[in-house]
Amino acid sequence: MHELSTHAANHAPPQSFLRKYVFSVDHKVIGKQYYGLGLLAVLIGMVLSWLMRIHLVWPNFAIPGLQWLSSAGAPGGVITPEYYLQLMTMHGTLMVFFVLTNVPFAGFGNYFLPIQIGAEDMAFPRFNMMSFWVTFVGFCVLVAAFFVGDGPPLSGWTAYAPLSAIPGSGPGQATGQTLWAISIATFCIGQLLGSLNFITTTLDLRTKGMTLMRMPLCTWAWFITSCIGLLAFAVLLPACILLILDRVAGTSFFVPSNLVVSDQLVNLSGGSPLLWQHLFWFFGHPEVYIAILPAAGIVSHILVNSYRRPLLSHKAIIYCMMAIGFLSYMVWGHHMFLSGMNPFSALVFSFPTLVITIPATILVLIWIGSLYGANLQINSASLFALGFISMFVSGGVSGFFLAQPSIDVYLHGTYFVVGHFHMVMGVAAIFGMFAGTYFWAPKMFGRMMNETWGKIHFWGTFVGTYCIFMPFHYLGMIGNVRRYSAFVDDYLQVPQPVSLLGLHFSVSPIEVHEFISIAALFTGAVQLIFVYNLIYSRFKGTPAPENPWQGTSLEWATSSPPPWDNFGGRLPVVYHDPYQYGIEGASGDFVMQNSSEHIQTVREDKKVI
Amino acid sequence: MPHGLFMATTLQAPPTVKLPGPGSLRRVILRDSDAPSTGIWIALAAITMTFAAFTSAMLVRQGSANDWRHFSFPIILYFNTAVLFASSLTLQIGRRRFSRFDTERHGEARPTITALYGTLALGCTFVFAQYAAWQQLRSEGLYLSSAPSSSFFYVFTALHALHVIGGVLGLVYVIRKLHRGVLRTNTFAAASQYWHFMGLLWLYLLVLLRTRI
């Protein structure tokens, strides 16, 4: 192994407890902090989804203790319709911002991006620390909404104006909504600082020999995602500033004229509710890719390792991710087909929405096609990576339907959409996170995770998620509206004929809901296995070797966990493309990027399956 | 070693890359970090995007109702523009002095610092003069919530002033480093780039507000 001695590290080794674990500038500690924050947020978000599912099918069930959280929202533990919406808002906001953005992108990205490009730290370590703590403040402000006034806002994670702009429009719409807007604005600042760091680090701090095309696919995904995030959060921030001004300073950017709320004429006028939707979704759609691209990158990185062969094309994956990132800015209007936007612009947004499925399909074909001739290693990480493909395809296919304005008119307000985005964006990204955790926990914590528990966790989660989200599509197609807090004495009680796998039977939609709720409780409980496995392995797991998965990229070229300056003061030199698995003539099954071994490399264009 | 079909075909394909020595080293990346200059470009891209979003919001809001109110443009803003441009000028003088100081090795840091103090003073003057412009609007009864036009006027000018204050803090950082003799050329270049960009952004805002309000 040839190594190059370099100049002094970016910063001195931390001494005090506070500088080492709390206000640390070390990207690895910051990555773990993001991961921990995401874990906390996902647990809260999951419990909220449980509460919602329980209320949906057993509306009079008293949840013990909930009255202490909100005596008005859940008198005697029974959730009111308004409180259901408040829980829904918090579930969406926590999951989208503090889980799907935080863990696959900010968490793993912070930890592994500098290591994978052979750097000692991020380009601006202090900004990096600020980025986390700003995000943490945003999280605290958001969660504080549970405990002040009449609870969190009820306007959904999209906070549509004018509902979100009028303090008197419902429970939680006064203090709660203001806290929400401040929290999200703060979150934007944190993400902008993070993106700035990611981009600069990738461009400037690559080690000797690490060309752009030699970066691993997850590094590419984080890089592209940070480019998307830089522009997307730079638009959500102004939107939140304008919303805050509407709420506290008496301006009228989003409140239309002659608006009557609670039988009272609102004294603001002239604003445009559509303006909020445009600004929000201009951020909101790229946000979908901010959640999914890092997961796609992580999954590519893990799959190629468990296939023990290179993917069909390294470059095609990179170009497809770039294409997805670029197109993600042209499709935001497909969230607004029913908003009263000009119907002709619906057509304009429909076309790129269909086009964006092409690079996404190419990604899937490469992942699946590369299985040919692979020597697949089945472990928890690769199972979750394969599960990601399954979720991504199942959720993506329903996207084809929603991309057509004429079909979306029917489906938009139904559970079909809930099933679609939970699978393609939510669960798929979560599968990417699980895959990343099983794969990288040995590096991050220095101990292996338990494989048996990991596999049980996978099968429970995989089956459970299908049981939850597939029936949603069915409910949507029979016209079951979303966002309603409970369905009693209505059409959902009437049995409907169903044909499934050759079986003919009749079932009422509310029974389908009951099935979903039970599946949600079960799947949530399965996650406790993961939490147990993570905590137990952290302290009692088998100590991890330097390279437990026989990987090729630079994170496996240092100890587990890496020293504070990643490579012990001597940066590695890179001689090879990232995924040299199963190369003929090499001394082993794989050749690491920093190995000086001379191998016969096959050029991309000569590669044949 | 796994032997799939892929492996079989690679056996037949002749090696296309032959390299002497250990592995292949395609390109050497200089370890002298360009991070400040790259970082500042990226930060400016994000700031541009933010102001673009505000601009589009303003155009949409203006078209959404008939309540847009035109008001007389505070004359002091032209004076402020001149102040901001003068500050860029003194900054440029500072940079020229710095490059001489940097190359000569034995030069004095003092002339550079003097020029930077000039920039600092002009920058602060700009912020205070913007405040004077707001005072003038308030005396005419135009507050943040009076009309959509005045709302956007305050939002644009306040956010720009906030960014200028950020630039002032950056200059203070540069001056401190210069005092200690540990200023890196890249850091100074990045700070100046940011400062000049604030001038350009102000020019854009001036034209935008002058034509729309």
Same domain, A486 and A550: no
- Asked if residue A515 is part of any domain, the answer here is yes
Looking at per-residue pLDDT, the higher value among A530 and A496 belongs to A530
When pLDDT is cut at 50, 70 and 90, the band that residue B81 belongs to is very high
pLDDT tens readout for residues A107-123: 999 999 999 999 999 99
Is the predicted pLDDT of residue A464 greater than 80, yes or no?
yes
pLDDT of residue A499: 85
What's the total number of domains in chain A? 3
Given an 8 Å threshold on Cβ–Cβ distance, is A609 in contact with B33? no
- Asked if residue A312 is part of any domain, the answer here is no
The residue written with tokens 């032997």 in the block is B3
Instruction: Kindly list the residues from chain B whose CB atom is less than 8 angstroms away from the CB atom of residue A196.
Output: 39, 42-43, 46
When pLDDT is cut at 50, 70 and 90, the band that residue B178 belongs to is confident
Asked if A571 and A118 touch (Cβ cutoff 8 Å), the reply is yes
pLDDT of residue A601: 61
Buried b (16+ CB within 10 A) or exposed e, A525-563: ebbebbeebbeebeeebeebeebbbebbbbbbbbebbbe
Average pLDDT, chain A: 92
Tell which B residues from 160 to 189 touch A, by Cβ distance under 8 Å: none
Looking at per-residue pLDDT, the higher value among A225 and A373 belongs to A225
Asked if A235 and B50 touch (Cβ cutoff 8 Å), the reply is yes
Q: How far is B92 from chain A (nearest CA, A)?
A: 26
Give mean pLDDT, residues A25-30: 94
pLDDT tens readout for residues A584-608: 878 888 999 998 888 766 554 444 4
Q: Is the preceding peptide bond at A162 cis, omega within 30 degrees of 0? A: yes
d(C-alpha B14, C-alpha B17), whole Å: 9
What backbone torsions phi and psi does residue A140 show, to the nearest 5 degrees? -65, -40
The residue written with tokens 């020999």 in the block is A209
Same domain, A327 and A338: yes
pLDDT of residue A560: 92
pLDDT of residue B104: 67
What are the angstrom distances between the C-alpha of B160 and each of A120, A190, B34, B45, B197?
35, 20, 27, 15, 11
Q: What is the CATH number of the domain that holds A341?
A: 1.20.210.10
Q: Is residue A608 helix, strand or coil?
A: coil
pLDDT of residue B11: 37
- The 3-class secondary structure across chain B, one letter per residue, is CCCCHHHHHHHHCCCCCCCCCCCCCCCCCCCCCCHHHHHHHHHHHHHHHHHHHHHHHHHHHHHHCCCCCCCCCCCHHHHHHHHHHHHHHHHHHHHHHHHHHHHHCCCCCHHHHHHHHHHHHHHHHHHHHHHHHHHHHHHCCCCCCCCHHHHHHHHHHHHHHHHHHHHHHHHHHHHHHHHHCCCCHHHHHHHHHHHHHHHHHHHHHHHHHHHHC
Same domain, A523 and A564: no
Given an 8 Å threshold on Cβ–Cβ distance, is B4 in contact with A269? no
Among A246, A271, A296, which residue terminates a domain?
Answer: A271
pLDDT of residue A494: 85
Range name among A74-83, A544-553, B108-117 with the lowest pLDDT average: B108-117
Give the chain A residue whose CA is nearest to the CA of B54: A238
pLDDT of residue A602: 54
pLDDT over 70, % of chain B: 82
Q: State the best of A235, A254, A312, A587 to mutate against chain B, taking most chain B CBs within 10 Å.
A: A235
B44 touches chain A (CB under 8 A): no
Let me know the angle formed at the C-alpha of A79 by A76 and A80, rounded to the nearest 5 degrees: 110
Asked if A120 and A571 touch (Cβ cutoff 8 Å), the reply is yes
pLDDT of residue B100: 80
d(C-alpha A29, C-alpha A32), whole Å: 5
pLDDT over 90, % of chain A: 83
- Asked if residue A295 is part of any domain, the answer here is no
- Asked if residue A603 is part of any domain, the answer here is yes
Same domain, A573 and A461: no
Give the chain B residue whose CA is nearest to the CA of A122: B35
Same domain, A532 and A554: no
Asked if A327 and A228 touch (Cβ cutoff 8 Å), the reply is no
Asked if A194 and A229 touch (Cβ cutoff 8 Å), the reply is yes
Same domain, A552 and A585: yes
pLDDT of residue A496: 86
pLDDT tens readout for residues B83-138: 999 999 999 999 998 888 766 666 678 888 999 999 999 999 999 999 999 999 99
Same domain, A222 and A101: yes
Q: Write out the residue range of the structural domain in which residue A556 sits.
A: 544-609
Same domain, A113 and A233: yes
pLDDT of residue A570: 87
A189 touches chain B (CB under 8 A): no
pLDDT tens readout for residues B19-44: 333 344 333 333 446 888 899 999 99
Burial tier of B37 (Cβ tally within 10 Å: 0-12, 13-18, 19+): middle
Is the predicted pLDDT of residue A90 greater than 70, yes or no?
yes
Q: Which residues, 6+ apart, have CB-to-CB distance to B85 below 8 Å?
A: B199
Is the predicted pLDDT of residue A342 greater than 80, yes or no?
yes
When pLDDT is cut at 50, 70 and 90, the band that residue A487 belongs to is confident
- Asked if residue A284 is part of any domain, the answer here is no
Give mean pLDDT, residues A291-306: 97
pLDDT tens readout for residues A186-212: 999 999 999 999 999 999 999 989 999
Which pair of tokens denotes residue B117? 């103090």
Instruction: Kindly list the residues from chain A whose CB atom is less than 8 angstroms away from the CB atom of residue B144.
Output: 245, 249-251
Same domain, A364 and A429: yes
The residue written with tokens 């409907």 in the block is A496
Asked if A176 and A150 touch (Cβ cutoff 8 Å), the reply is yes
Give the chain A residue whose CA is nearest to the CA of B30: A208
- Asked if residue A293 is part of any domain, the answer here is no
Given an 8 Å threshold on Cβ–Cβ distance, is B35 in contact with A205? yes
Is the predicted pLDDT of residue A312 greater than 70, yes or no?
yes
Asked if A232 and A287 touch (Cβ cutoff 8 Å), the reply is yes
A252 touches chain B (CB under 8 A): yes
Among A541, A561, A588, which residue terminates a domain?
Answer: A541
pLDDT of residue A422: 96
Given an 8 Å threshold on Cβ–Cβ distance, is B49 in contact with A235? yes
pLDDT of residue A569: 82
Residues comprising chain B, all counted: 213
pLDDT of residue B4: 36
Is the predicted pLDDT of residue A14 greater than 80, yes or no?
no
pLDDT of residue B77: 96
- Asked if residue A315 is part of any domain, the answer here is no
Given an 8 Å threshold on Cβ–Cβ distance, is A309 in contact with B4? yes
Same domain, A569 and A507: no
The pTM is what? 0.92
Same domain, A505 and A388: yes
pLDDT tens readout for residues A137-186: 999 999 999 999 889 999 999 999 999 999 989 999 999 999 999 999 99
pLDDT of residue A10: 52
From the list B4, B29, B38, the residue facing A374 with the nearest CB is: B4
Q: State the best of B3, B19, B25 to mutate against chain A, taking most chain A CBs within 10 Å.
A: B25
Give mean pLDDT, residues B172-185: 87
Among A487, A506, A541, which residue terminates a domain?
Answer: A541
d(C-alpha A210, C-alpha A10), whole Å: 19
pLDDT of residue A221: 98
Given an 8 Å threshold on Cβ–Cβ distance, is B22 in contact with A596? yes
- Asked if residue A353 is part of any domain, the answer here is yes
pLDDT of residue A5: 36
Given an 8 Å threshold on Cβ–Cβ distance, is A204 in contact with B35? yes
CA R_g for chain A: 24
Same domain, A361 and A475: yes
